[in-house]
């Protein structure tokens, strides 16, 4: 992959108009949270993909970002963000597992005061960390780490979002939810049906699971248990 370029000039009329069209399409597909739609309208998704794919960056599709990974489809980003914001708990501090391109983190960064995001592939982590910094995101804290363990020293979180699909929910993520917090996570086998789930920690020791849209995510990779 060639380097992602900060072509801020490119955020001209054309991309604003294409972004507006994307927002209209998301609205039509059922995204109704105005805050989410507004952030998508303002966030330059084309800067989060390789230049060669920039022209497709406002289509409602997932795109490759190298290393076998993808930037999620805008509808899914919007849907997961909506589900996260639907929490009754005020969102001060959230964790994202699976930084990838940094686009979902940027969306969260515009809505939530403190965003921690972890990525396990160093070759994705480094350029994304630099990009988020260059774009002026100062409240997003990226780290190179295996999200199977969550991010213990920053827990508990007001919400956790996972952007890769495990077959089963990693217990550490459940443990790092504050009471009332949502975990938004796709689960299921690769190649089989996966579903978006919202798991709410209702009390110190109980959780409630709700199942939403069918989805298709790259695998959540677990390091060998140390
Ligand atoms: N949120 C990203 C989606 C990237 S795809 C975006 O907006 O672009 C999912 C990412 O999750 C990949 O980069 C993959 O490397 C990462 N991932 C998978 N398993 C992980 C794990 N156990 N810990 C941290 N990151 C993981």
Q: What is the pLDDT of residues 7-20, one digit of tens each?
A: 555 544 457 889 99
Low-confidence ranges of the chain (pLDDT < 70): 1-14, 224-226
What is residue 170's predicted lDDT score, i.e. its pLDDT? 97
Q: Is position 171 within any domain?
A: yes
- Answer whether 71 contacts ligand 1 (Cβ < 6 A): yes
Task: Return the SS3 of 133.
Answer: helix
Q: Is position 15 within any domain?
A: no
Backbone angles phi, psi at 89, to 5 degrees: -80, 135
Q: Is position 9 within any domain?
A: no
Which pTM does this prediction carry?
Answer: 0.94
Residue nearest to atom 4 of ligand 1 (CA): 100
- Answer whether 45 contacts ligand 1 (Cβ < 6 A): no
- Answer whether 162 contacts ligand 1 (Cβ < 6 A): no
Q: Is position 20 within any domain?
A: no
**How many angstroms does the Cα of residue 196 sit away from the middle of ligand 1?**
15
Q: Is position 204 within any domain?
A: yes
Quick: pLDDT tens for 52-88.
Answer: 999 899 999 999 999 999 999 999 999 999 999 999 8
Q: Domain of 176?
A: 65-215
Please state, as a whole number, how many other Cβ atoms lie within 10 Å of the Cβ of residue 29.
12
Residue 127: give its domain's CATH number: 3.40.50.150
Catalytic residue numbers? 72
**How many angstroms does the Cα of residue 163 sit away from the middle of ligand 1?**
6
Q: Is 19 exposed, middle or buried (0-12, 13-18, 19+ CB in 10 A)?
A: buried
Q: Residue 71 CA: which ligand 1 atom is closest?
A: 8
- The token pair that represents 148 in the structure block: 């199977």
Domain count, the chain: 1
């Amino acid at each position: 992959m060639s380097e992602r370029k900060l072509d801020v000039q490119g955020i001209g009329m054309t991309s604003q108009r294409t972004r507006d069209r994307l927002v209209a399409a998301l609205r039509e597909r059922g995204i109704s949270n105005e805050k989410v739609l507004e952030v998508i309208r303002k966030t330059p998704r084309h800067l989060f993909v390789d230049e060669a794919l920039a022209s497709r960056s406002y289509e409602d599709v997932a795109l490759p970002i190298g290393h076998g990974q993808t930037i999620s489809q805008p509808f899914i980003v919007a849907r997961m963000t909506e589900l996260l914001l639907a929490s009754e708990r005020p969102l001060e501090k959230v964790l994202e597992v699976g930084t990838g391109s940094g686009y979902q983190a940027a969306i969260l960064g515009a809505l939530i005061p403190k965003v921690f995001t972890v990525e396990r592939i160093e070759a994705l982590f480094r350029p994304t960390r630099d990009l988020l910094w260059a774009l002026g995101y100062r409240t997003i804290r990226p780290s190179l780490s295996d999200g199977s363990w969550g991010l213990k020293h920053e827990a508990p979180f007001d919400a956790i979002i996972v952007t890769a699909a495990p077959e089963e929910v990693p217990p550490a993520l459940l443990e790092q939810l504050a009471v009332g917090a949502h975990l938004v996570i796709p689960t299921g086998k690769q190649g089989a049906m996966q579903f978006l789930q919202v798991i709410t920690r209702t009390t110190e020791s109980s959780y409630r699971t709700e199942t939403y849209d069918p989805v298709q995510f790259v695998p959540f990779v677990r390091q060998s248990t140390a």
